[in-house]
């Protein structure tokens, strides 16, 4: 049986970031993009360049580092959007501009306030403008699943005639069901006369929990590109999950004669990375990447697993980058074994980084009875989140707390190169720690989210803490991990404060540059 390739278009950095509270820094996006490249994602939608200075810089930086994936920038059907996208993508080895306009009667009447004739003109002009920057142009009819079919066919035909090489059919509000969406793709194939000159793509939202099912139905019906995100994050209920689509195609090749080039052994690592950066914890029973995906509690299941793993596992842990062994390393393990294990988990690190991580690993191994793969992943991610140029660093911390007592926190910090110590009280240990940090590093930030997650099992498990701070419309995410939950909490808050200070410094420059850019580009509006 001849298998056809399905292109994987990852929009974690664009649509995934539209998840409420999932804002990513430029550095975060570059880190994720680097891993998406190594995973061999075909196209990375790196952002919406005109939306903000941060998005522009993100697309620009991802363009500079992407050596495998095509880098894509989103743009509305306006010259100014397209021009900014073209500028942001200038350094990309391979680039794509993805432009869109609504085509449903509902959107045209209430959102665009435009006629069908006007929309057609915008399609022509926007695609031709995009072709000034790249011959790889993707076009989307927003709200396609609720668009009049005859107008949809006409719009797609015009888009292809204008030069679009990829036509994306989005289920913008997650309204379709699988059979219906498959029929829509078949109708497009059978009624658009020049559809053979373009790749059909699909972009499904998960409002009814059907994003992956709709995507797979569309592939069967003729789509050869799927737009998806790591862990299924995205606006509202999210997008189709990359890991679920890829592993469905790989596992059920008997019924789905398609393939992708995705390096599936990197799935676990990048899932952890995105979860850690966004602060969106993966639910335990999440398909493919959830903690319970390979856990077996039922006695009947356990008995079957001991006799033959295939009795209750349709994919192997190794296929997504997990080891079949639970205990991976101990305090007597050597540096070479440590490095090999990190390579097995998908990390290719320089020796200088390995040395620092190995020291941290030895410290952790002294505190824990067992060191698990998740612990090693947390070590690497913690090091990535706490670079050497931090403004604030935790030196030491002690606490006094108990039932009916007012908690006391004593913190020793390195603040802008100066060692400082402070003692502060609170209603509990976390309150005391955060009060101390707020006094030592003055800020008006509100604590929006505080989450604690046990990385592994057992009373000696590392705690992973996520906090989200908001100050004057600036939102930052902070993470910290440690076997001591209180220390992890302090690290997370400090990590967020470091990001806040960095964003404060950039805020004024961004305002000035954006004002200048808008003045220059206003004359380009269609």
The predicted pLDDT at position 311 comes to 52
Predicted confidence (pLDDT) per residue in 378-432, tens digit: 788 777 655 545 789 999 999 999 888 889 999 999 998 899 999 999 999 999 9
Instruction: Say which range, 214-228, 380-394, 434-448, has the weakest mean pLDDT.
Output: 380-394
pLDDT at 525: 42
Q: Is the pLDDT of residue 119 over 60?
A: yes
Strands lying side by side in the sheet with 446-454: 446-454, 463-471, 474-482
Ramachandran angles phi, psi of 44, nearest 5°: -110, 115
Q: Could you report the per-residue pLDDT of 167-205, keeping only the tens digit for each?
A: 999 999 999 999 999 999 999 999 999 999 999 999 999
Across 93-107, 113-127, 285-299, 424-438, least confident range = 285-299
What percentage of the chain reaches a pLDDT higher than 90?
58
pLDDT at 313 over 70: no
Report the pLDDT value the prediction gives residue 524, as an integer from 0 to 100.
40
Give the range with max mean pLDDT: 20-34, 40-54, 289-303: 40-54
The confidence band for 302, taking pLDDT boundaries of 50, 70 and 90, is: very low
Under 8 Å between Cβ of 424 and 480: no
| Residue 43 pLDDT > 90 | yes
Measured CA to CA, the distance from residue 156 to residue 154 in angstroms comes to: 6
**Angle, alpha carbons 465-467-471 (nearest 5°):** 165
Between 186 and 145, name the one with better pLDDT: 186
Kindly report the pTM of this predicted structure.
Answer: 0.79
pLDDT interval class at 1 (50, 70, 90) = low
Opening angle at CA 160, ends 156 and 166, nearest 5: 85
Per-residue pLDDT for 292 more than 60?
yes
Over 70: is that where the pLDDT of 310 sits? no
Rank 60-74, 346-360, 441-455 by mean pLDDT and report only the highest. Answer: 60-74
Tokens of 474: 């600036």
From 63-67, 125-129, 481-485, the region with the lowest mean pLDDT: 481-485
Q: For strand 392-400 and strand 7-10, is the pairing parallel, antiparallel, or unpaired? A: unpaired
Asked if residue 244 has pLDDT above 90, the reply is yes
Sorting pLDDT into bands at 50, 70 and 90, what band is 15?
very high
Query: Rounded mean pLDDT of 26-51?
Result: 96
pLDDT classification of 356: cutoffs 50, 70, 90? confident
Angle between helices 373-385 and 351-367 (to 10 degrees): 130
């Amino acid at each position: 049986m001849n298998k056809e390739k399905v292109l994987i278009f990852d929009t974690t950095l664009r649509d995934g970031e539209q998840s409420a509270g999932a804002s990513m820094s430029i550095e975060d996006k570059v880190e994720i993009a680097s891993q998406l490249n190594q995973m061999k994602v075909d196209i990375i939608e790196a952002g919406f360049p005109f939306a903000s200075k941060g998005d522009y810089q993100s697309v620009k930086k991802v363009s500079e580092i992407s050596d495998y994936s095509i880098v894509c920038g989103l743009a509305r059907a306006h010259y100014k959007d397209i021009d900014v996208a073209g500028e942001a993508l200038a350094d990309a080895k391979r680039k794509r501009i993805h432009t869109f306009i609504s085509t449903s009667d509902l959107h045209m009447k209430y959102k665009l306030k435009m006629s069908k004739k006007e929309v057609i003109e915008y399609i022509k002009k926007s695609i031709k403008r995009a072709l000034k920057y790249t011959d790889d142009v993707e076009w989307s009819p927003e709200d396609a699943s609720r668009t009049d079919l005859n107008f949809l066919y006409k719009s797609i035909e015009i888009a292809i005639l204008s030069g679009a090489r990829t036509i994306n059919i989005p289920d913008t509000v997650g309204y379709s069901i699988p059979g219906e969406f498959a029929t829509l793709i078949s109708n497009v194939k059978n009624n658009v006369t020049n559809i053979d000159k373009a790749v059909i793509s699909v972009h499904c939202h998960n409002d009814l929990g059907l994003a992956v099912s709709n995507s797979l139905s569309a592939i069967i019906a003729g789509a050869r590109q799927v737009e998806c995100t790591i862990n299924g994050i995205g606006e509202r209920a999210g997008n189709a999950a990359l890991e679920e689509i890829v592993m469905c195609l790989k596992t059920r090749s008997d019924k789905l004669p398609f393939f992708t080039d995705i390096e599936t052994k990197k799935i676990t690592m990048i899932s952890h990375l995105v979860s850690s950066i966004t602060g969106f914890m993966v639910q335990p029973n999440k398909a493919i990447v959830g903690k319970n995906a390979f856990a077996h509690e039922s006695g009947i299941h356990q008995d079957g697993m001991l006799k033959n793993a295939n009795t209750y596992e349709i994919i192997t842990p190794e296929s997504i980058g997990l080891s079949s062994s639970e205990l991976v390393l101990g305090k007597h393990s050597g540096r070479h074994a440590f490095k090999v294990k990190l390579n097995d988990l998908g990390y290719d690190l320089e020796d200088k980084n390995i040395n620092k991580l190995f020291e941290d690993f030895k410290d952790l191994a002294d505190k824990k009875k067992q060191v698990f793969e998740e612990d090693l992943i947390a070590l690497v991610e913690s090091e990535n989140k706490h670079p050497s140029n931090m403004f604030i660093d935790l030196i030491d911390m002690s606490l006094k707390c108990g039932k009916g007592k007012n908690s006391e926190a004593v913190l020793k910090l390195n603040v802008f190169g100066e060692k400082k110590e402070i003692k502060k009280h609170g209603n509990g240990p976390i309150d005391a720690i955060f009060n101390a940090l707020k006094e030592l590093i003055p800020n008006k930030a509100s604590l929006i989210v505080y989450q604690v997650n046990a990385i592994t099992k057992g009373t000696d498990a590392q705690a992973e803490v996520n906090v989200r701070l908001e100050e004057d419309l600036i939102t930052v995410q902070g993470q910290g991990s440690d076997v001591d939950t209180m220390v992890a909490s302090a690290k997370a808050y400090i990590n967020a404060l470091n990001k806040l200070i960095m964003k404060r410094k950039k805020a004024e420059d961004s305002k000035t540059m954006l004002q200048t850019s808008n003045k220059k580009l206003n004359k380009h509006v269609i």
